[in-house]
Protein backbone atom coordinates (compact mmCIF):
# COMPACT_ATOMS: atom_id res chain seq x y z
CA UNK A 1 0.00 0.00 0.00
CA UNK A 2 1.42 3.36 -0.97
CA UNK A 3 0.01 6.71 -0.10
CA UNK A 4 -1.08 6.94 -3.71
CA UNK A 5 -4.07 4.84 -2.87
CA UNK A 6 -5.52 7.53 -0.67
CA UNK A 7 -5.83 9.97 -3.55
CA UNK A 8 -8.95 9.42 -5.64
CA UNK A 9 -8.20 8.12 -9.07
CA UNK A 10 -8.40 10.61 -11.86
CA UNK A 11 -7.76 10.73 -15.55
CA UNK A 12 -4.49 12.39 -16.47
CA UNK A 13 -6.20 13.54 -19.62
CA UNK A 14 -8.06 16.17 -17.65
CA UNK A 15 -4.72 17.65 -16.54
CA UNK A 16 -3.95 18.20 -20.21
CA UNK A 17 -7.40 19.53 -20.99
CA UNK A 18 -7.21 22.08 -18.21
CA UNK A 19 -3.67 23.20 -19.04
CA UNK A 20 -4.95 25.76 -21.56
CA UNK A 21 -6.87 27.69 -18.90
CA UNK A 22 -4.38 27.92 -16.07
CA UNK A 23 -3.25 31.49 -16.73
CA UNK A 24 -6.86 32.67 -16.82
CA UNK A 25 -7.35 30.68 -13.64
CA UNK A 26 -4.56 32.40 -11.75
CA UNK A 27 -5.58 35.78 -13.21
CA UNK A 28 -9.11 35.23 -11.92
CA UNK A 29 -10.39 35.60 -15.43
CA UNK A 30 -12.50 32.50 -15.99
CA UNK A 31 -16.18 31.73 -16.16
CA UNK A 32 -17.49 30.27 -12.91
CA UNK A 33 -18.04 26.81 -14.37
CA UNK A 34 -14.51 26.32 -15.68
CA UNK A 35 -13.03 27.92 -12.58
CA UNK A 36 -14.85 25.41 -10.38
CA UNK A 37 -13.79 22.58 -12.64
CA UNK A 38 -10.12 23.46 -12.23
CA UNK A 39 -10.46 24.08 -8.52
CA UNK A 40 -12.14 20.73 -8.17
CA UNK A 41 -9.53 18.94 -10.20
CA UNK A 42 -6.73 20.60 -8.25
CA UNK A 43 -8.26 19.47 -4.98
CA UNK A 44 -7.27 15.90 -5.81
CA UNK A 45 -4.36 16.33 -8.23
CA UNK A 46 -1.09 17.21 -6.56
CA UNK A 47 0.96 17.65 -9.76
CA UNK A 48 -1.59 20.16 -11.04
CA UNK A 49 -1.52 22.08 -7.77
CA UNK A 50 2.25 22.29 -7.99
CA UNK A 51 2.03 23.26 -11.63
CA UNK A 52 -0.45 26.05 -10.90
CA UNK A 53 1.67 27.31 -8.01
CA UNK A 54 4.83 27.43 -10.11
CA UNK A 55 2.98 29.13 -12.95
CA UNK A 56 1.63 31.70 -10.54
CA UNK A 57 5.07 32.24 -9.07
CA UNK A 58 6.45 32.71 -12.57
CA UNK A 59 3.91 35.44 -13.33
CA UNK A 60 4.59 37.09 -9.98
CA UNK A 61 8.34 37.08 -10.60
CA UNK A 62 7.93 38.82 -13.94
CA UNK A 63 5.47 41.27 -12.42
CA UNK A 64 7.75 42.06 -9.50
CA UNK A 65 11.15 42.09 -11.12
CA UNK A 66 12.54 45.63 -11.13
CA UNK A 67 13.12 47.16 -14.54
CA UNK A 68 16.46 47.93 -16.11
CA UNK A 69 17.79 51.39 -15.27
CA UNK A 70 18.03 53.88 -18.09
CA UNK A 71 21.62 55.08 -18.46
CA UNK A 72 21.88 58.73 -17.43
CA UNK A 73 23.37 59.72 -20.77
CA UNK A 74 20.35 58.29 -22.60
CA UNK A 75 18.05 60.36 -20.40
CA UNK A 76 20.22 63.41 -20.99
CA UNK A 77 20.01 62.93 -24.76
CA UNK A 78 16.26 62.65 -24.56
CA UNK A 79 16.03 65.85 -22.54
CA UNK A 80 18.10 67.68 -25.14
CA UNK A 81 15.95 66.41 -28.03
CA UNK A 82 12.77 67.32 -26.23
CA UNK A 83 14.10 70.78 -25.57
CA UNK A 84 14.76 71.19 -29.29
CA UNK A 85 11.19 70.14 -30.03
CA UNK A 86 9.86 72.61 -27.51
CA UNK A 87 11.89 75.41 -29.02
CA UNK A 88 10.63 74.59 -32.50
CA UNK A 89 7.11 74.55 -31.23
CA UNK A 90 7.47 77.90 -29.48
CA UNK A 91 8.89 79.47 -32.64
CA UNK A 92 6.06 78.15 -34.81
CA UNK B 1 -6.61 54.63 -11.91
CA UNK B 2 -5.11 57.63 -10.15
CA UNK B 3 -2.25 57.67 -12.60
CA UNK B 4 -4.63 57.56 -15.57
CA UNK B 5 -6.47 60.65 -14.33
CA UNK B 6 -3.15 62.32 -13.74
CA UNK B 7 -2.03 61.56 -17.28
CA UNK B 8 -5.24 62.94 -18.68
CA UNK B 9 -4.79 66.11 -16.73
CA UNK B 10 -1.17 66.43 -17.83
CA UNK B 11 -2.12 65.88 -21.46
CA UNK B 12 -4.75 68.61 -21.17
CA UNK B 13 -2.22 71.06 -19.78
CA UNK B 14 0.08 70.29 -22.68
CA UNK B 15 -2.70 70.75 -25.19
CA UNK B 16 -3.54 74.11 -23.63
CA UNK B 17 -0.04 75.29 -24.38
CA UNK B 18 2.06 74.23 -21.39
CA UNK B 19 4.70 72.30 -23.36
CA UNK B 20 6.75 71.64 -20.22
CA UNK B 21 3.94 69.46 -18.93
CA UNK B 22 5.32 66.83 -21.29
CA UNK B 23 8.35 66.43 -19.01
CA UNK B 24 6.15 64.68 -16.46
CA UNK B 25 5.01 62.16 -19.06
CA UNK B 26 8.55 61.68 -20.34
CA UNK B 27 9.86 61.16 -16.84
CA UNK B 28 7.20 58.62 -16.04
CA UNK B 29 7.16 56.63 -19.27
CA UNK B 30 10.56 56.80 -20.89
CA UNK B 31 12.06 54.15 -18.55
CA UNK B 32 9.17 51.85 -19.39
CA UNK B 33 9.65 52.31 -23.12
CA UNK B 34 13.38 51.81 -22.63
CA UNK B 35 12.79 48.52 -20.81
CA UNK B 36 10.52 47.29 -23.55
CA UNK B 37 13.21 48.24 -26.06
CA UNK B 38 15.98 46.38 -24.28
CA UNK B 39 13.90 43.26 -24.00
CA UNK B 40 12.40 43.37 -27.48
CA UNK B 41 15.45 44.49 -29.42
CA UNK B 42 18.12 43.02 -27.22
CA UNK B 43 20.41 46.01 -27.15
CA UNK B 44 20.75 49.09 -25.01
CA UNK B 45 21.79 51.13 -28.01
CA UNK B 46 18.60 50.30 -29.90
CA UNK B 47 16.51 50.73 -26.76
CA UNK B 48 17.91 54.22 -26.39
CA UNK B 49 16.87 55.04 -29.96
CA UNK B 50 13.46 53.50 -29.44
CA UNK B 51 12.91 55.57 -26.32
CA UNK B 52 14.07 58.71 -28.05
CA UNK B 53 11.99 58.21 -31.21
CA UNK B 54 8.88 57.18 -29.31
CA UNK B 55 8.90 60.09 -26.92
CA UNK B 56 9.64 62.59 -29.68
CA UNK B 57 6.81 61.21 -31.87
CA UNK B 58 4.52 61.40 -28.87
CA UNK B 59 5.53 64.98 -28.21
CA UNK B 60 4.84 65.94 -31.82
CA UNK B 61 1.58 64.04 -32.03
CA UNK B 62 0.10 64.81 -28.65
CA UNK B 63 -1.89 67.78 -29.93
CA UNK B 64 -3.90 65.37 -32.04
CA UNK B 65 -4.42 62.84 -29.25
CA UNK B 66 -8.13 62.86 -28.41
CA UNK B 67 -8.08 60.53 -25.43
CA UNK B 68 -9.92 57.63 -27.07
CA UNK B 69 -7.57 55.40 -25.11
CA UNK B 70 -5.34 55.94 -22.12
CA UNK B 71 -2.24 57.98 -22.82
CA UNK B 72 -0.06 55.00 -21.87
CA UNK B 73 -1.81 52.76 -24.40
CA UNK B 74 -1.40 55.38 -27.10
CA UNK B 75 2.29 55.81 -26.25
CA UNK B 76 2.98 52.08 -26.34
CA UNK B 77 1.23 51.86 -29.70
CA UNK B 78 3.84 54.28 -30.99
CA UNK B 79 6.59 52.30 -29.28
CA UNK B 80 5.37 49.10 -30.86
CA UNK B 81 5.36 50.63 -34.33
CA UNK B 82 8.89 51.90 -33.85
CA UNK B 83 9.94 48.57 -32.47
CA UNK B 84 8.63 46.75 -35.54
CA UNK B 85 10.41 49.17 -37.86
CA UNK B 86 13.67 48.64 -36.02
CA UNK B 87 13.34 44.86 -35.87
CA UNK B 88 12.36 44.57 -39.51
CA UNK B 89 15.77 45.91 -40.46
CA UNK B 90 17.53 42.88 -39.09
CA UNK B 91 14.81 40.30 -39.15
CA UNK B 92 16.23 36.84 -39.64
CA UNK B 93 13.88 34.28 -38.14
CA UNK B 94 10.27 33.79 -39.22
CA UNK B 95 7.50 33.94 -36.62
CA UNK B 96 7.60 30.92 -34.36
CA UNK B 97 4.67 29.25 -32.69
CA UNK B 98 4.57 27.76 -29.23
CA UNK B 99 2.11 24.86 -29.29
CA UNK B 100 0.55 24.03 -25.94
CA UNK B 101 1.63 20.40 -26.26
CA UNK B 102 5.17 21.49 -25.59
CA UNK B 103 4.20 22.38 -22.08
CA UNK B 104 2.42 19.27 -20.93
CA UNK B 105 4.53 18.09 -18.01
CA UNK B 106 6.30 14.83 -18.56
CA UNK B 107 6.00 12.06 -15.98
CA UNK B 108 9.40 13.01 -14.72
CA UNK B 109 8.30 16.57 -14.28
CA UNK B 110 5.11 15.53 -12.54
CA UNK B 111 7.31 13.75 -10.04
CA UNK B 112 9.75 16.58 -9.49
CA UNK B 113 7.05 19.26 -9.44
CA UNK B 114 5.90 18.29 -6.03
CA UNK B 115 9.26 18.83 -4.46
CA UNK B 116 9.62 22.20 -6.15
CA UNK B 117 10.10 24.38 -3.12
CA UNK B 118 10.29 27.59 -5.12
CA UNK B 119 6.54 27.53 -5.50
CA UNK B 120 6.17 28.39 -1.83
CA UNK B 121 9.08 30.78 -1.46
CA UNK B 122 8.20 34.49 -1.37
CA UNK B 123 9.06 36.32 -4.57
CA UNK B 124 11.31 38.79 -2.79
CA UNK B 125 13.46 35.91 -1.53
CA UNK B 126 13.69 34.32 -4.96
CA UNK B 127 14.55 37.50 -6.81
CA UNK B 128 18.30 37.57 -6.47
CA UNK B 129 20.71 38.55 -9.18
CA UNK B 130 21.19 35.05 -10.50
CA UNK B 131 17.49 34.45 -10.88
CA UNK B 132 17.09 37.87 -12.44
CA UNK B 133 19.56 36.91 -15.13
CA UNK B 134 17.90 33.55 -15.65
CA UNK B 135 14.57 35.24 -16.01
CA UNK B 136 15.87 37.79 -18.50
CA UNK B 137 17.50 34.97 -20.46
CA UNK B 138 14.25 33.02 -20.58
CA UNK B 139 12.34 36.10 -21.70
CA UNK B 140 14.95 36.85 -24.36
CA UNK B 141 14.54 33.51 -26.11
CA UNK B 142 10.75 33.73 -26.38
CA UNK B 143 9.50 34.28 -29.92
CA UNK B 144 8.96 38.07 -30.27
CA UNK B 145 5.18 37.83 -30.74
CA UNK B 146 4.87 36.09 -27.39
CA UNK B 147 7.55 38.12 -25.68
CA UNK B 148 5.87 41.44 -26.32
CA UNK B 149 2.57 40.19 -24.91
CA UNK B 150 4.29 38.91 -21.77
CA UNK B 151 6.12 42.21 -21.32
CA UNK B 152 3.05 44.36 -21.79
CA UNK B 153 0.83 42.22 -19.57
CA UNK B 154 3.14 41.07 -16.79
CA UNK B 155 6.03 43.52 -16.79
CA UNK B 156 4.10 46.68 -17.73
CA UNK B 157 0.82 45.75 -16.11
CA UNK B 158 -1.47 46.49 -19.04
CA UNK B 159 -4.79 44.64 -19.02
CA UNK B 160 -5.57 42.04 -21.68
CA UNK B 161 -7.85 44.57 -23.39
CA UNK B 162 -5.21 47.31 -23.38
CA UNK B 163 -2.58 44.91 -24.67
CA UNK B 164 -4.95 43.91 -27.46
CA UNK B 165 -5.38 47.59 -28.33
CA UNK B 166 -1.64 48.23 -28.36
CA UNK B 167 -0.84 45.23 -30.51
CA UNK B 168 -3.95 45.33 -32.68
CA UNK B 169 -4.93 41.82 -31.66
CA UNK B 170 -8.07 40.16 -30.34
CA UNK B 171 -8.24 39.60 -26.59
CA UNK B 172 -8.29 35.77 -26.87
CA UNK B 173 -5.08 35.94 -28.90
CA UNK B 174 -3.47 38.04 -26.18
CA UNK B 175 -4.51 35.56 -23.51
CA UNK B 176 -3.33 32.60 -25.50
CA UNK B 177 0.10 34.14 -26.15
CA UNK B 178 0.50 35.31 -22.58
CA UNK B 179 -0.26 31.83 -21.34
CA UNK B 180 2.24 30.16 -23.65
CA UNK B 181 4.88 32.71 -22.80
CA UNK B 182 4.39 32.12 -19.09
CA UNK B 183 4.45 28.37 -19.64
CA UNK B 184 7.76 28.65 -21.47
CA UNK B 185 9.31 30.73 -18.69
CA UNK B 186 7.90 28.42 -16.04
CA UNK B 187 9.49 25.46 -17.78
CA UNK B 188 12.89 27.16 -17.74
CA UNK B 189 12.59 28.10 -14.08
CA UNK B 190 11.47 24.63 -13.18
CA UNK B 191 14.56 23.17 -14.82
CA UNK B 192 16.74 25.70 -13.13
CA UNK B 193 15.45 24.84 -9.68
CA UNK B 194 15.12 21.13 -10.31
CA UNK B 195 18.65 20.72 -11.51
CA UNK B 196 19.89 22.71 -8.56
CA UNK B 197 21.95 24.92 -10.83
CA UNK B 198 21.14 27.85 -8.63
CA UNK B 199 23.44 28.71 -5.81
CA UNK B 200 22.04 28.68 -2.32
CA UNK B 201 22.87 31.88 -0.60
ZN1 LIG C 1 -4.14 17.22 -12.80
pLDDT tens-place string over residues A31-55? 999 999 999 999 999 999 999 999 9
Does B31 contact A71 at a Cβ distance shorter than 8 Å?
Answer: no
Does A19 contact B127 at a Cβ distance shorter than 8 Å?
Answer: no
Average pLDDT over residues B45-73: 95
Residue B198 has a pLDDT of 65
Residue B200 has pLDDT above 60, yes or no: no
| d(CA A57, ligand 1 centre) in Å | 18
Q: Residues of B with CB below 8 A from A75's CB?
A: 30
Residue B93 has a pLDDT of 56
Short-list A86, A78, A65, CA closest to B48: A78
Of B178 and A90, the structure prediction assigns the larger pLDDT to B178
| d(CA A60, ligand 1 centre) in Å | 22
Sign of CA dihedral B138, B144, B150, B153: positive
Residue B146 has pLDDT above 60, yes or no: yes
Q: State how far the Cα of A5 lies from the Cα of A59, in Å rounded to an integer.
A: 33
pTM of the predicted structure, to 2 decimals: 0.90
Average pLDDT over residues B42-70: 94
Instruction: List the pLDDT tens digit at each of the 92 positions of chain A.
Output: 334 434 444 567 789 999 999 999 999 999 999 999 999 999 999 999 999 999 999 999 999 999 889 999 999 999 999 999 999 887 77
Query: What is the average pLDDT value for chain B, to the nearest integer?
Result: 90
Spell out the domains of chain B, with CATH numbers in brackets: 2-89 (1.10.1740.10), 94-199 (1.10.10.10)
Q: ipTM for the complex?
A: 0.90
Q: Residues of B with CB below 8 A from A87's CB?
A: none
Contacts within 8 Å (CB) and 24+ apart, A69-75: A69/B31, A70/B30, A70/B31, A70/B34, A70/B51, A71/B44, A71/B48, A74/B34, A74/B44, A74/B48, A74/B51, A74/B52, A75/B30
Average pLDDT over residues B72-97: 80
Query: Which among B182, B191, B194, B198 is the top mutation candidate for probing chain A, defined by the most A β-carbons within 10 Å of its own β-carbon?
Result: B182
Picking from A47, A71, A86, the nearest residue to B44 by CB comes out as A71
Amino acid sequence: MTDHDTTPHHDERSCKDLLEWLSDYIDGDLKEELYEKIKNHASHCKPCVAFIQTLQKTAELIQTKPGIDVPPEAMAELTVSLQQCKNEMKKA
Amino acid sequence: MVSTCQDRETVMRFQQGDVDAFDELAHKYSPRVYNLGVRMCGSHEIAKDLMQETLISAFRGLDRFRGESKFSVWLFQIAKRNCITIRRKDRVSPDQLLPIEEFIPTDDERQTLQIADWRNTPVQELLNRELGERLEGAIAILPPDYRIVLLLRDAEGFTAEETAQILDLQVPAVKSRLHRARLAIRKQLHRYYRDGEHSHD
